[in-house]
Amino acid sequence: MRSVRRLSPLPRVVAVFCAIACVSNLGSARPADAPSGDVHRFRWHGRIDDVDFWVGRAKSGGDVNRLPQPYTSSHVIKVEFEYVQQIAADGSESWPERHLTWSLEGAQGDDTFTEGCHGAGSLDLGPASSSGTLTDEQRNSLKATCEHKKLAISWRMYGRLESMPPLPEIPAVSYLDKNCTYRKEEGTRRTIIWMTPDVDAVVEMDTKPGSEYAKFVPVPGKFVELTVKTVPVFPARFRFVIDREHTSNFAGYAGNASIDEGFFKRYGLEHLAGEYTDSSPDLIFDKQHFQGSAWSTVKQDVVETATEQGMAVARVSAMDYGAIGKVGVYVQCKCGGQGSSAKGGAVWTPAKVLVGGKPHDAVSVPLDEDNNLMADALEDYKGDPGRDDDADPEGDGTKGDGLTTFEEYRGFMTKGGDCFDPANDLFVRTTPRFKELFVYASNEILDRASGWAGWAGDIPIISLCDRHLTGVSTVKDAVNNAPEGRGTLSVDPDTRVVNFTLQRARQRKFLDHVVSLPEPQHGVIVMAVGSSNPLLGGAPALAVPVSDPSELGPPKHTAAVLVLARQEIAESLRATMHELGHAMGIPHHSDRRTGWRVRPGVLNVVPALSPLQAAGIELFSEDAKVLEGQPTPDALLVEPGPACTQKNRAAAYRDGKFAGCLTSVIVRRGQQCSGDVACPMRYKYTDFYEPPGAKAEYTWTGTVTDGPDVKVEGPGTGAASAASGSASAGRGIDPRAVPEGGDQHVFSVDAWRGNLLQWPEGHHWPLGYFCRSPQGTDVNAAHGSRNLAGDAGRAEPCRGYLVVNDNADKDSK
Amino acid sequence: MTGSRALRWVAVAAVAVATVLAWIVWRGPRRPDAVAVAPARKLPELNGVLTLSVQLDRRVEVVAGTPIVFDVYLTTGKSAPSLSIGRTAEPWHSLVRLVDDSSGKPLGWALAPLGSPRSIAFAAEQGEAKAMDSTGNVAVVDYDHVHHLVLAASPEATKDLVPGTYAVRALIEGDSRLESAPVTVVVRGAGEAAGGDRLERERMAQSAQFYLLAKRFEDARRISGELAAREPKNCGAWMLLGDALDGLGKPREALAVYRRALAVSPRTYEEPTLLYERMAAMRQKLAS
């Protein structure tokens, strides 16, 4: 048997401490319950097992058994102990804790005697200056109870049973193997002792305002440093693990940006191209930060130090503007850490995580103490991430802009210059307090004009490139190949989507938090088109509805806003603002909106509507469908009155007699031209108008000439006949050989009368905000006959209709 | 005397030779090719955004004979410092070049400005949004200004274009270059069937619009007449024809055509006010 020298481990261990401390110049991070000062503690665990069973017979000469009964002897002794050794700064040694559990069972005997010993106990031996110090009382309590019975008188020599468990003998450190374990076998007795340093691994995250961790907001390629240290300083290996279950893996890297080649280029992550995919976690260990021999394992979701050291620093990189996750830190101290696996090897033990001094299971990246998936660093994003309650501008009272607070936090890529190069894109986190409208404009002029629509409605316009929302090319193709004679454009609801990354992935929740809403939010595509495009139909611009021309509402209802190219710039600006107003649910000054359905009010009399207006049929009503596709009059005829005399340049004749004045519009009170004259939603086109107290009334349908010398047979008998049969003079034209005109021309007309006046040309119409009041301003507030159209025909101003939330549910009845 | 005069001439010649040599030494050696290079045009450091579109888009397919219209926009980002480009003798739009993206050589498509270059200023004054158009030679390049130039190749100029794919960039050259991203023009041959009918329709529509902008009203009338005959329910085709007739001084015929356009105008939430305005204008012309 090799004798065990009881040597102090002090010199070697302290030397290790000193070496590490001197090299690493570590700070004073220390768990609250750790010993103070430079006191170091070591925990010695051990087990002693002694099991024996023996049977024999005493023999005499000639191999004849002289005893009728065999002699038996057995014992089972188990000792487990845990001693704590403490070495003070002055090198003095003490044993502040010693705990020992033991059991002993023993028996022996033959036909002449029996002897049995048994005992068990758990002893707190208390502090001592050396590991083996026992008081008499302690020694007595370690004694087993033994009983001896003599069955016959004999004189034989037998051994004595063990009546006291063996006491641990702590070996010198030099006797420990590489796993800091000491093993000894001596006869039937097996002893195993292992030493673990009483060391904590601590990750302390500073959450004070201004600290790097507290300020951190996820941006692809940006990182947070996690520092783990052993306290007291002790060699260890460290492992950092991205907790996949609690770490996001959102599609793309922002609300409207997918992982593509441009992503790696933009954020200087070319070295990850081909390795990082959309299925990778949003937080990773970027291999660029883990080069050299210090790291043995470098994967995107786990890194391990190669050598034992007193501390390690790992950089956790965000790969998504909405990245959120947990990072676990583990330690494997020299000498097996704080435990052993079932196979006897060292295990990875979780490090203590202190975030702002409070214990946590793991490190949250970014700092998210309110557990709402969003960085605490950004004040705007507190509370429920799934809410969508943007309040400004108030609009029609519908809160929200179709984006959850989390989506607004995760943000969007937007136009930053020329759209060709994604490197020009700008990232924007939108605010959950203000509604926004996302717009893709096909040229710079329309882009600016769209911005002014935002100015008019106090609603930020987010300019996008085509790659920032879905299906732009699909919509463009649909616009450029639109069929003739239709004013709608059926495009897939999957086009124009702004928050497409989460919507396509149908990711509604993460960690029980709502992150996206059931319906996608759409942007508005604003396109310049040539005058040959059949959709415009003679208008300077049009918010082309997806299906029902009577529906106005949030952007999902608008396939595209088309603006006639190469107009006067002021007209382009006005038209773009006007149509974007429609794309945000604002009807004309004449109309109301119930749910998404437009309820037309009093409308200007125009050739296209005159048959309806003459018959008292409401636009978009079921009755109006009867007249769809029927011819409309070429013009309106205002019957003679104070503003329509034979001297009027638009004088027209019927049967050679002056019959009235041709026009294309009779402005009525409270219709599209009414209200605030600076409002972009107001029509500025005027000609004849109803002054206060006047009212235009339909009289007849027929044909007239613009000269007095032609007789035209058969006056019409009303709007219905005009709609059903009256031939238009222009209708038979061969466009390839337009006949040379004579001196006069024949018009089919609907005639209207009333005390109508004619508005002078050349009036300057300002272009201001979407109106805040239905009251007329300027000429619409003038006294007397110079009042053009009066107050708007409905009670709510344009601001009161604004809505951008595609998830809003409205009852249109 | 004769000798001293000769000496004097020798001295004068020696001084002249020495002066020339000194000048050569002082000036230093010159690269032979530098002699022919004109001094570089001085422009400020360019920090703008030059955007190019073709047929109002970034990529277009055409058949030969389709006018090709490029829109060049010069502006800058929200936070970029402003700068000025151009001067009276050398307007900003004269500095714009369209080049073949692969070779860098000027695009040889007989490009010519279509309409006047425009400098558009956006501003708000006392609650009023304004977009003001001017035609100055100096472009103030900032976010509130968009400078717009239209360069076009006429149908005649593109008639003989070789089928193929052309990438075109706009650039402004000075001490530094300001380049646009390229746009793509795919020219299809007459025999290429894919989208042939659509491309033929586009040729007619684009030609009609080109001729109107170029004030070639007879050509505009011819081609828009063909388009309207082909698409009799297309209000826009009739409007083009009406505009051509108006340009030819035929308000009566134009009025008839506008009425035809009105008859096929689709029922939308917007009134066809452009048509109304044109019709009113024609009536006024007739009356006067």
A687-710 residue pLDDT tens: 999 999 999 999 999 999 877 654
Distance from C-alpha of A664 to C-alpha of B274, rounded to nearest angstrom: 11
Residue B14, SS3 per DSSP: helix
Q: pLDDT at residue B37 above 60?
A: no
Which chain A residue has its CA at the smallest distance from B116's CA? A566
pLDDT of residue A568: 85
* Partner residue opposite A649 with nearest CB, options B122, B250, B284: B284
- Sheet of A181-186: strand order equals A145-150, A113-124, A93-109, A71-87, A40-56, A189-197, A181-186
Q: Which of A4-8, A465-469, A716-720, B218-222 has the lowest mean pLDDT?
A: A716-720
Q: Which helix (H) or strand (E) holds B242?
A: helix B235-247
The minimum CA-CA distance between A366 and chain B, rounded to whole Å, is 30
Q: pLDDT at residue A609 above 50?
A: yes
Which chain A residue has its CA at the smallest distance from B231's CA? A484
Q: pLDDT at residue A497 above 70?
A: yes
Predicted confidence (pLDDT) per residue in A547-587, tens digit: 888 888 899 999 999 999 988 888 889 999 999 999 999 99
Q: Work out the pLDDT band at A629, boundaries 50, 70, 90.
A: low
Q: Which of A23-27, A380-384, B138-142 has the lowest mean pLDDT?
A: A23-27
Which chain A residue has its CA at the smallest distance from B150's CA? A566
Q: Which of A569, A577, A666, A734 to mutate to test the interface with B (most CBs of B within 10 A)?
A: A569
* Partner residue opposite B272 with nearest CB, options A538, A672, A730: A538
- Which residue carries 């989390």 as its tokens? A406
Q: Which of A26-30, A265-269, B29-33, B100-104 has the lowest mean pLDDT?
A: A26-30
* Partner residue opposite B253 with nearest CB, options A607, A634, A741: A741
Tell me, yes or no, if B285 comes closer than 8 A to chain A by beta carbon.
Answer: no
pLDDT of residue A349: 85
CB contact under 8 A, A542 and B270: yes
Q: Name beta bridge partners: A195.
A: A44
* Partner residue opposite A537 with nearest CB, options B198, B250, B268: B268
- Sheet of A524-529: strand order equals A461-464, A437-441, A524-529, A558-564, A541-545
CB contact under 8 A, B263 and A728: yes
Surface of B (158-187) touching A: CB under 8 A: 180-182
CB contact under 8 A, B279 and A604: no
Question: At a CB cut-off of 8 Å and minimum separation 6, what does B243 contact?
Answer: A531, B212, B220, B224, B254, B278
Percentage of chain B beyond pLDDT 90 is 31
Distance from C-alpha of A804 to C-alpha of A438, rounded to nearest angstrom: 10
Query: What are the structure tokens assigned to B244, written together?
Result: 């051509």
Q: Which of A472, A620, A738, A761 to mutate to test the interface with B (most CBs of B within 10 A)?
A: A738
Distance from C-alpha of A281 to C-alpha of A598, rounded to nearest angstrom: 47
Q: pLDDT at residue A637 above 70?
A: yes
Distance from C-alpha of A132 to C-alpha of A138, rounded to nearest angstrom: 11
The minimum CA-CA distance between B281 and chain A, rounded to whole Å, is 10
Distance from C-alpha of B143 to C-alpha of B121, rounded to nearest angstrom: 9
CB contact under 8 A, B130 and A604: no
Q: Work out the pLDDT band at A618, boundaries 50, 70, 90.
A: confident
pLDDT of residue A492: 92
Q: pLDDT at residue A742 above 90?
A: no
The minimum CA-CA distance between A251 and chain B, rounded to whole Å, is 28
Distance from C-alpha of A685 to C-alpha of A106, rounded to nearest angstrom: 115
DSSP string, A200-254: EEEEEE--STTSHHHH----TT-EEEEEEEEES---EEEEEEEEGGGS---SSSB
User: Which of chain B's residues have a Cβ under 8 Å away from the Cβ of A740?
Assistant: 250, 253
CB contact under 8 A, B279 and A549: no
| Cα-based distances in Å from A473 to A101, A554, B29, B71 | 79, 21, 58, 19
CB contact under 8 A, B260 and A706: no
Distance from C-alpha of B74 to C-alpha of B64, rounded to nearest angstrom: 29
| Cα-based distances in Å from B248 to B162, B241, B251 | 34, 11, 8
Q: Which of A15-24, A36-45, A195-204, A652-661 has the lowest mean pLDDT?
A: A15-24
Q: pLDDT at residue A724 above 60?
A: no
Distance from C-alpha of B155 to C-alpha of B162, rounded to nearest angstrom: 14
Q: pLDDT at residue A220 above 90?
A: yes
Residue A704, SS3 per DSSP: strand
CB contact under 8 A, B271 and A634: no
pLDDT of residue A38: 61
User: Which of chain B's residues have a Cβ under 8 Å away from the Cβ of A577?
Assistant: 129
User: Which of chain B's residues have a Cβ under 8 Å away from the Cβ of A736?
Assistant: 222, 225-226, 228-229
The minimum CA-CA distance between B163 and chain A, rounded to whole Å, is 22
Distance from C-alpha of B260 to C-alpha of B241, rounded to nearest angstrom: 10
CB contact under 8 A, B133 and A569: yes
Q: Which of A277-281, A390-394, A483-487, B202-206 has the lowest mean pLDDT?
A: A483-487
**CB contact at 8 A, A116 and A76:** no
Query: What are the structure tokens assigned to B182, written together?
Result: 């390229």
The minimum CA-CA distance between A490 and chain B, rounded to whole Å, is 14
User: Which of chain A's residues have a Cβ under 8 Å away from the Cβ of B262?
Assistant: 538, 607-608, 632, 634
Residue B251, SS3 per DSSP: helix
- Looking only at the bridges linking them, the beta strands covering A363-365 and A325-333 are antiparallel
User: Which of chain A's residues have a Cβ under 8 Å away from the Cβ of B286?
Assistant: 706, 745
* Partner residue opposite B265 with nearest CB, options A529, A538, A651: A538
pLDDT of residue A411: 96
Q: Which of B276, B277, B278 to mutate to test the interface with A (most CBs of A within 10 A)?
A: B276
How many other CB atoms are there within 10 angstroms of residue B137's CB atom?
A: 16
Helices and strands, number each (H, E), in chain B:
7, 13
The highest-confidence range among A754-768, B141-155, B234-248, by mean pLDDT, is B234-248
Which chain B residue has its CA at the smallest distance from A737's CA? B225
Predicted confidence (pLDDT) per residue in B99-118, tens digit: 999 888 898 888 999 988 88
pLDDT of residue A231: 81
Q: Name beta bridge partners: A82.
A: A45, A99
Distance from C-alpha of B182 to C-alpha of B169, rounded to nearest angstrom: 5
The minimum CA-CA distance between B88 and chain A, rounded to whole Å, is 24
* HSE value, Cβ hemisphere, 13 Å, CA-based, for A494: 7
Burial bucket for residue A326 (CB in 10 Å: 0-12, 13-18, 19+): buried
Q: pLDDT at residue B45 above 80?
A: no
Which chain A residue has its CA at the smallest distance from B169's CA? A420
Surface of B (45-74) touching A: CB under 8 A: 49-51, 53, 56-58, 71, 73
Which chain A residue has its CA at the smallest distance from B256's CA? A730
Q: Name beta bridge partners: A746.
A: A705
How many Å from the N-terminal Cα to the C-terminal Cα in chain B?
Answer: 97
The minimum CA-CA distance between A223 and chain B, rounded to whole Å, is 27
Query: What are the structure tokens assigned to A285, written together?
Result: 């260990």
Distance from C-alpha of A81 to C-alpha of A79, rounded to nearest angstrom: 7
The minimum CA-CA distance between A541 and chain B, rounded to whole Å, is 8
Tell me, yes or no, if B248 comes closer than 8 A to chain A by beta carbon.
Answer: no
* Partner residue opposite A665 with nearest CB, options B206, B233, B276: B276
Query: What are the structure tokens assigned to A122, written together?
Result: 């758990």
CB contact under 8 A, A745 and B255: yes
User: Which of chain A's residues have a Cβ under 8 Å away from the Cβ of B51?
Assistant: 418, 443-444
Residue A423, SS3 per DSSP: helix
User: Which of chain A's residues have a Cβ under 8 Å away from the Cβ of B233?
Assistant: 484-485, 534
Distance from C-alpha of A263 to C-alpha of B247, rounded to nearest angstrom: 52
Q: Which helix (H) or strand (E) holds A637?
A: strand A635-638
Distance from C-alpha of A532 to C-alpha of A564, rounded to nearest angstrom: 9
CB contact under 8 A, B271 and A745: no
Q: Work out the pLDDT band at A24, boundaries 50, 70, 90.
A: very low
CB contact under 8 A, B275 and A538: yes
Surface of B (66-125) touching A: CB under 8 A: 71, 73, 75, 77, 115, 118, 120, 122, 124
Distance from C-alpha of A112 to C-alpha of A158, rounded to nearest angstrom: 12
User: Which of chain A's residues have a Cβ under 8 Å away from the Cβ of B271?
Assistant: 539, 604, 606, 608, 665, 672, 683, 685
Which chain B residue has its CA at the smallest distance from A567's CA? B274
Question: At a CB cut-off of 8 Å and minimum separation 6, what does B78 contact?
Answer: B143
Higher per-residue pLDDT: A565 or A33: A565
* Partner residue opposite B131 with nearest CB, options A569, A745, A766: A569
Q: Work out the pLDDT band at A648, boundaries 50, 70, 90.
A: confident
CB contact under 8 A, A569 and B257: no
DSSP state for residue B26 in the 8-state scheme: H
Q: Report chain B's mean pLDDT, rounded to a whole number.
A: 82
CB contact under 8 A, B283 and A706: yes
